[in-house]
């Protein structure tokens, strides 16, 4: 084999015996390894030779492994660095992940785990050679806020750190989780999404960890749990705040031990799974209220990625709406339909408590009402209560429910609410109360406007 194509790893440890063990393990995986006994040696090694992976001990004679993590992060961010931590030193591991380490492995070294870590890390090189970030463009939007999410997601895709994705309902948390998975070294394995609030409490343990045949009534065969289904890939714990406390304890254990024990099984099964999680609730507040375990929070929230509400990035509304329309007409086999400027202005004045998902629902309804190739303001039906949803209000899922969909003769419908009144008032003021001109501005007929004014008691 051409040794030029072999991946190269840098091993940094002041104990020659460990260096040797690691070197041997890597050689068996067809990876060349160079070693360094101090941070200074490590720095000069990577300056003189490109490496594909770095494994470093934490306590070095001339400093901390964290310094090397930071150095590589700054000068050659594409090189994954895994840190070797003392047994049970979670604090250091979390700190390393926060500063950009790819993953960690604790002493005493588990060679099977180490081999998995190395092959995952080397996947990053293959991905890069295959053309880098895939599909980040599926996350639409030009606002700086969403661009930041894209950059962060691409960066986090390269790490194994647990990421907690926060944000209101319908902002795109699951989409972001999928993109992190698809752009990472686990993309060839499963992405398993589980809605933690949707599993009956009594079935939870078996759903997550699997069960053995006969372990309880109804267990007619061995069943694999979600962790096993996600083996080698990513497990996305959606609505993680809905996990009951007793499950939080079990989950924490599994995450720390990297092994599950199916219900009724005698032995544990090793699992290699990256954990991503999300909730629209304020997790930190739930921790303070004693409803979410602090230790689990600390473990799954190593890095937090916040997806901003749609009302905080109004510039994206037009782009998203057009993109949604494009997709809908393609599915329905219709000729292209666009959004009238008044219709867009109308949307931009709305608070979108249900965010992008609500925009999708609104556009779908607007499309059924639209005549011709343009969606006008009256085709757009908004929820009555435009009050923005706050982070902690899980009791009221903000879903946009269809109301008077077939009320075609009254295009603004019955439930337009204050925002509609506002839009009409503004149009009237702008046209010095010339109803014909105002109607035109709003994209409706004079008769329609007169009807709405009467109906909304704007006279």
Ligand X SMILES: Nc1ncnc2c1ncn2[C@@H]1O[C@H](COP(=O)(O)OP(=O)(O)OP(=O)(O)O)[C@@H](O)[C@H]1O
Chain residues binding ligand X by CB under 6 A are 139-141, 146, 167, 169-175, 280, 320, 356-357, 360
- Residue 174 engages Mg ion in binding (rule: CB under 5 A): yes
Which residue's CB is nearer to ligand X, number 85 or number 171?
171
Could you tell me which stretch among 107-115, 171-179, 254-262, 264-272 binds Mg ion (CB under 5 A)? 171-179
Q: Please report how close the Cβ of residue 190 comes to Mg ion at its closest, in angstroms.
A: 18
CB of 146 to ligand X, least distance (A): 6
Taking the complex as a whole, the smallest distance from the CB of residue 86 to Mg ion amounts, in Å, to 37
Given Mg ion, ligand X, none, residue 398, with its beta carbon under 5 to 8 Å by kind, binds none
The verdict on 168 binding Mg ion (CB under 5 A) reads: no
Q: How far is the CB of 384 from Mg ion (least distance, A)?
A: 24
Give the Cα separation of 371 and 1 in Å (integer): 66
User: Which of ligand X, Mg ion, none is residue 150 near (CB under 5 to 8 Å by kind)?
Assistant: none
Please calculate the CA angle 272-260-53 and round it to the nearest 5 degrees: 20
What pairing do the DSSP bridges indicate for beta strands 59-60 and 63-64?
antiparallel
Helix axes 355-369, 315-332, angle to 10 degrees: 50
CB of 170 to ligand X, least distance (A): 4
Q: What's the CA gap between 197 and 164, in Å, rounded?
A: 16
Choice between 96 and 193, CB closer to Mg ion: 193
Smallest separation, CB 316 to ligand X (Å)? 7
Picked from Mg ion, ligand X, none, the partner binding residue 171 (CB below 5 to 8 A depending on kind) is: ligand X
The site for Mg ion, by CB under 5 A, has a size of 1
Sheet with 103-106, strands from edge to edge, namely 32-36, 8-12, 53-57, 81-85, 103-106
Beta-carbon contacts of 325 under 8 Å, excluding residues fewer than 6 positions away, are 336, 337, 338, 339, 363, 367, 375
Q: What's the min distance (Å) between Cβ of 238 and Mg ion?
A: 5
Looking at the Cβ atoms of 110 and 322, the one nearer to ligand X is 322
269 interface partner picked from Mg ion, ligand X, none, CB below 5 to 8 A per type: none
What is the rounded distance in angstroms from the CA atom of residue 338 to the CA atom of residue 376?
Answer: 9
Sign of CA dihedral 26, 232, 242, 313: positive
Q: Are 160 and 120 in contact (CB under 8 A)?
A: yes
CA distance 386 to 194: 30
280 binds, among Mg ion, ligand X, none (CB under 5 to 8 A by kind): ligand X
Q: Which is nearer to ligand X, 139 or 255 (CB)?
A: 139
Among residues 103 and 174, whose Cβ is nearest to Mg ion? 174
- Structure tokens, 42: 């490590």
With CB cut-offs between 5 and 8 Å by kind, which of Mg ion, ligand X, none does residue 189 bind?
none
Nearest distance in Å: CB 245, ligand X: 22
Nearer to Mg ion, 148 or 195 (CB): 195
141 or 262, CB closer to ligand X?
A: 141
The Cα–Cα gap between 358 and 130 comes to 36
Closer residue to Mg ion, CB minimum distance, 170 or 413: 170
What values do phi and psi take at 339, rounded to 5?
A: -100, 125
When asked if residue 358 is in the footprint of Mg ion (CB under 5 A), the reply is: no
Q: Are 81 and 159 in contact (CB under 8 A)?
A: no
- Report the sign of the C-alpha dihedral through residues 119, 123, 125, 126, in that order: positive
Report the partner that residue 443 touches, choosing among ligand X, Mg ion, none (CB closer than 5 to 8 A by kind).
none
Q: Is the dihedral of CA 212, 218, 221, 225 positive or negative?
A: negative
Among 365, 340, 356, smallest CA distance to 444 is for: 340
Residue nearest to Mg ion (CB): 174
The minimum distance between CB 199 and ligand X, in angstroms, equals 15
Assess whether the previous peptide bond of 98 is cis (omega < 30° from 0).
Answer: no
358 binds, among ligand X, Mg ion, none (CB under 5 to 8 A by kind): none
Interface residues toward Mg ion, by CB under 5 A: 174
């Amino acid at each position: 084999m051409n040794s030029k194509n072999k991946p190269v790893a840098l091993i940094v440890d002041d104990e020659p015996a460990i260096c040797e063990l690691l070197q041997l393990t890597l050689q068996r995986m067809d990876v060349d390894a160079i070693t360094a006994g101090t941070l200074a040696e490590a720095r000069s090694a990577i300056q003189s030779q490109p490496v594909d992976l770095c494994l470093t001990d934490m306590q070095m004679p001339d400093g901390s492994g964290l310094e090397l993590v930071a150095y590589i992060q700054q000068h050659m961010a594409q090189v994954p660095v895994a840190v070797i931590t003392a047994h049970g030193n979670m604090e250091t591991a979390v700190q390393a992940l926060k500063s950009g380490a790819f993953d960690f492995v604790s002493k005493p070294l588990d060679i099977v785990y180490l081999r998995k870590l190395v092959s995952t890390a080397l996947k990053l090189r293959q991905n890069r050679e295959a053309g880098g970030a895939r599909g980040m463009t599926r996350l639409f939007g030009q606002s700086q806020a969403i661009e930041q999410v894209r950059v962060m997601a691409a960066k986090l895709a390269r790490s194994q750190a647990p990421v907690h994705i926060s944000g209101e309902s319908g902002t795109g948390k699951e989409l972001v989780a999928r993109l992190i998975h698809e752009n990472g070294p686990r993309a060839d394995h499963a992405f398993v999404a589980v809605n933690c609030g949707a599993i009956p409490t009594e079935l939870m343990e078996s759903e997550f960890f699997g069960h053995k045949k006969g372990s309880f009534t109804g267990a007619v065969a061995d069943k694999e749990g979600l962790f096993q289904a996600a083996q080698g890939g990513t497990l996305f714990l959606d609505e993680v705040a809905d996990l009951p406390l007793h499950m939080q304890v079990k989950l924490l254990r599994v995450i720390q031990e990297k092994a599950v024990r199916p219900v009724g099984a005698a032995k544990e099964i090793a699992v290699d799974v990256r954990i991503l999680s999300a909730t629209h609730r304020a997790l930190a507040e739930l921790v303070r209220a004693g409803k979410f375990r602090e230790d689990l929070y600390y473990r799954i929230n190593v890095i937090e990625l916040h997806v901003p509400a749609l009302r905080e990035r109004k510039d994206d509304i037009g782009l998203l709406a057009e993109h949604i329309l494009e997709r809908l007409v393609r599915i329905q086999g219709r000729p292209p339909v666009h959004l009238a400027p008044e219709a867009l202005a109308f949307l931009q004045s709305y608070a979108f408590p249900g965010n992008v998902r609500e925009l999708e629902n609104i556009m779908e309804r607007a499309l059924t009402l639209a005549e011709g190739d343009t969606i006008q303001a009256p085709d757009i039906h908004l929820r009555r209560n435009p009050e923005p949803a706050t982070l902690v209000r899980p009791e009221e899922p903000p879903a946009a429910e269809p109301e008077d969909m077939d009320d075609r003769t009254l295009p603004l419908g019955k439930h337009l609410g204050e925002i509609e009144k506002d839009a009409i008032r503004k149009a009237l003021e702008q046209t010095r109360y010339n109803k014909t001109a105002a109607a035109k501005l709003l994209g409706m007929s004079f008769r329609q406007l007169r009807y709405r004014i009467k109906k909304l008691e704007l006279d």
